[in-house]
Amino acid sequence: MTQTEFLNVVMPFKDKLYRMAKRLLVSSEEAEDATQEILMKLWARKKGMAKYRNVEAFAMTMTKNFCLDRLKSKQSGNLKLVHSNYADENISLQRQVEVNDSVNWVERIMEELPEQQKIVLQLRDIEEYSFEEIAELLEMQPTAVRVTLSRARKTVRKKLLEKHSYGIG
């Protein structure tokens, strides 16, 4: 695979790799480092890239595993799961504060979810992968993906409702 072919295959989903890393790691810098590391690993494997049916799925799996390994490493004492909110500047300040508050609560709730639920929720609701793509990425059955996603959404919904019903807990 030539450099141009490699770039044409990998660059269209580079941002998805970054967003996955950003979801799993604390900072933009950590996510950028992880994305760069994955791209370098893909570059090193470019000659064997043709054997993969879905290079994007392979790269997303590599990113997920790299980030989880990073979180488990001794260097990860200060890393946690986060997600940035990109707000529309045309909405009112009050609405923007409400949106930011809700996003912060969802982030906190997602931090408490089991690892697999966090990843499935990220891939389906943020990255908009299909159930089949998620199943392939995570080596799960599509029905197991649906059940995991349903449980994650149910937990997030329940905790958000509790927060809104009872105030800050």
pLDDT at 67 over 50: yes
Asked whether 132 and 163 are in contact (CB, 8 A), the reply is no
pLDDT of 87-125, one tens digit each?
Answer: 444 557 776 777 777 777 888 888 888 989 988 988 888
**pTM assigned to the model:** 0.52
Reduced to 3 states, what is the DSSP secondary structure of residue 86?
A: coil
Asked whether 20 and 67 are in contact (CB, 8 A), the reply is yes
Domains plus CATH for the chain? 1-84 (1.10.1740.10), 91-169 (1.10.10.10)
Four-point Cα dihedral 14, 63, 21, 115, nearest 10 = 140
Task: Give the range among 18-32, 35-49, 59-73, 75-89 with minimum mean pLDDT.
Answer: 75-89
pLDDT at 8 over 90: no
